Amino acid sequence: MERPYGQHESQAGRADVSTEAGKGLDEMPQHQKLQGPQEQKAQDERSAGDKAHQPSRRRVTLKDVAKAANVSITTASRALADYWDVSPTTKARVREVARKLGYTPNVIAQSLVRKQPTLLGAYIVDEGIPLAEQPFFLPVVCGVRDRAAELGQHVLLLAKPPSGEMSLATIVKGAHVGGLVVMGLTEDHPELLELERLGVPTVTIDITPRGDRMVMITSDNVAQAAAVTSHLIEQGCERILFLGGKSNTAVNQAREQGYREALRRHGFPSEAARVVYGDFSRQKAYEAVMAAWREAPFDAVFAASDLMAAGAMSALAELGLNVPADVAVAGYDDLAIARHLNPPLTTVRQDPVAMGREAVDALKRLASEEVVSRVIEVKSRLVVRASSLKFKSDSSRGGTVTP
């Protein structure tokens, strides 16, 4: 029969308890010994010390590695950094200790100690368009990452929303980056002036460089925009709408220039050029095309990005128009979406990964104070698909017909 805790069935039970309680302290298990205030305090301090030294409770430091490997902190640091003046045996021992302890080097601290920054910043600004809707930037960052890794560099991705309060100067100084790859800024953005004042080696993607420490990586936008426009004209289009992104971006200005030059070269008067803007957004492009059609019909749309071309095709479908029979459509970038649209999209194939890799090489030359061209073009090419083929053939020079 069970009994409540603390009550005993007999005197024998009480005798058993008394006998246990009467044991000498030395015979009791350690955790059962009675402690006075001083002993309890000492025990508490020991427990706190034990907790502080548990590896899972705090970050393993270089000091921990040095102590476990029985070397100085300086030697441990130089061994992990593969300095020539540390023996192979010591390097191997320090690295094995670091691996077992789970030590992760602080690359920013290493940059400060060496005075040779090993950190590059990939800086993207969300200028009113969510980064999720700007798929062109991700492969650029991948190119930056891959080339930086080949050169023993690390990449810090800095993605700043429009409302971000922290200044670029604060970010750059705090992270101790040795160079920046910048994307997403408009030509009149105040942070371009800030970059010029900082003097940090900077490579921009499709942004006009300022100062002698800045270089732009871009594609041959003027030539390829002209090729797209010529292709549409050769398909019999006479009223070509140019669907631009943002008027204050270098890439949009170059593509619009190529569009206007091709019209002029084919004998069209200057007033034949018709331009609307979709802010490089699929939704805004849809709205711009709907409004443009209500104002006056057209027989082709040349969009300055594939996302805007997709928005244009949605608008045309809603208007009951057939692509390409009624309106031919072409884009720019050759994103994955281009070949999956219905019909597949004619576009310009850029190489954003190559642009990212070229950006790192340009940064390396800037940091070494070598002479670098202020504008570096990465070649692209026209890819013709069904969305623009009114006559089911292509006579555009340099173009390739792709399903």
> Which one is predicted more confidently, 387 or 124?
387
> Does residue 294 carry a pLDDT above 80?
yes
| pLDDT per position as a tens digit, 44-72 | 545 444 444 444 456 788 899 999 999 99
Q: Both 346 and 384 in a single domain?
A: yes
> Does residue 111 carry a pLDDT above 60?
no
Alpha helices in 156-305 (DSSP H): 168-175, 190-198, 221-234, 250-265, 282-295
The enclosing domain of 151 has a CATH number of 3.40.50.2300
Length of the chain: 403
pLDDT of residue 29: 43
Task: Provide the whole-model pTM.
Answer: 0.69
Task: Note whether residue 43 is domain-resident.
Answer: no
Which structural domain, as residue segments, surrounds residue 87? 55-105
Percentage of the chain with pLDDT > 70?
Answer: 72
pLDDT of residue 237: 97
Q: Both 252 and 280 in a single domain?
A: yes
For the chain, the 3-state helix, strand and coil shares in percent, each to the nearest 5, are 50, 15, 35
> Which one is predicted more confidently, 373 or 348?
348
Task: Note whether residue 169 is domain-resident.
Answer: yes
> 397: helix, coil or strand?
coil
Task: Note whether residue 111 is domain-resident.
Answer: no
Q: Is 236 left (phi over 0), alpha (psi -120 to 50) or beta?
A: left
Q: Both 255 and 392 in a single domain?
A: yes
pLDDT of residue 127: 58
Q: Both 101 and 159 in a single domain?
A: no
pLDDT of residue 12: 39
Give the type of residue at 226.
Answer: A
Q: Both 61 and 161 in a single domain?
A: no
Closest CA to 116 of 152, 157, 69, 73: 152
Q: Choose the final residue of a domain: 73, 105, 137.
A: 105
Q: Choose the final residue of a domain: 191, 218, 245.
A: 218
pLDDT of residue 166: 62
Give the type of residue at 277.
Answer: Y
